[in-house]
Copies of this chain bind each other. A is one copy, B any other.
Amino acid sequence: MSQSLSSTLSAVSSLAEVDSRSTPGFDGDKAAGKAALAELGTELADLQERLHAHGTTGDPRSVLVVLQGMDTSGKGGTIEKVVGLVSPLGVRIASFKKPTPEELAHDFLWRVERRLPSAGELGVFDRSHYEDVLIGRVRRLADVDEVERRYDAINAFERRYVESGGTVLKCLLHISPDDQAARLLARLDDPTKHWKFNPGDIDERELWDDYQDAYDLVLQRTSTDVAPWHVVPSGRKWYRNWAVGRLLLEHLRALDLTWPEADYDVDEQRARLAASS
């Protein structure tokens, strides 16, 4: 690939520019996409284990994947198919629900700070602090000035995380209203998926255009040099999974993760072991 997928997908400033069923950076069909994701698996798992190994040696680096998107855009599916490729050891998934009273009694970033990955961890946010400028704006859960304040607060928060050793990969899983209708219907038609459906999903769906505006503001206000957004067309699940896997791989590769060197004398320990047997 001559250009990185990261640079391709981060060059978007409005969702209206993007066809949810397009497959930028991938030239192939569904079967090829699934095969390409599986091929990424070995290197992804290797690099994640190296990251985890470094975390045990005092290296502060960690990686945070932020997944945002409308209902049914596939945040859970992406976690299952992409994060499922690496070892569960050193992975920390945080799902952000409606804030609790205790969480609401603090600044909106309080609960987020507590769930950042530790050194060596691969963290995944299933929804995130961006809810506070998405549903927060659309549903007017906070007043206008407060929502305005939050964009800068988010940028400062993410910059601090990056400056203290973090790498952020923000993915906006982009679907169309038709994509969503088909997926919601599939949930209603399958009793093993009824638990994933909530009547409130349709209430939010009816505010589709407001959400698209709020997402565009997120892209324009919070795509920074240290933490750009990637708009991932997610009308085709196989492309979405491959693209997030590929983005994660590019971000892990950029860390130049070697194996940590021993901080003890290997021969001396071999002799101690022999003497102890």
Contacts and interface: CB of A to CB of B under 8 A. Distances in A.
Interface of A: 53-54, 56-57, 76, 79-80, 83-84, 87-89, 91, 93, 95, 124, 126, 177-178, 181, 184-185, 188, 191-192, 194-199, 202, 205-206, 259-262, 264, 266, 269-270, 272-273, 276-277
Contacts of A54: 195
B93 A197 contact: no
A79 B84 contact: no
B264 A199 contact: yes
Contacts of A199: 264, 269, 272
Given A199-B264, A272-B199, A83 B93 contact: no
Nearest to A185: B273
A191 B259 contact: yes
12 contacts: A53-B195, A53-B196, A54-B195, A83-B88, A88-B93, A91-B93, A191-B259, A197-B262, A199-B272, A202-B272, A202-B273, A205-B276
Q: Which 10 A-B pairs have the closest CB atoms?
A: A194-B262, A53-B195, A80-B87, A195-B260, A181-B277, A83-B88, A192-B259, A202-B272, A199-B264, A188-B270
A184 B26 CA distance: 44
A178 to B, nearest CB: 8
Q: Is the interface of A mostly helix, strand, loop or mixed?
A: helix
A94 to B, nearest CB: 10
Contacts of A260: 194-195
Contacts of A205: 273, 276
Given A57-B195, A261-B194, A270-B188, A79 B83 contact: no
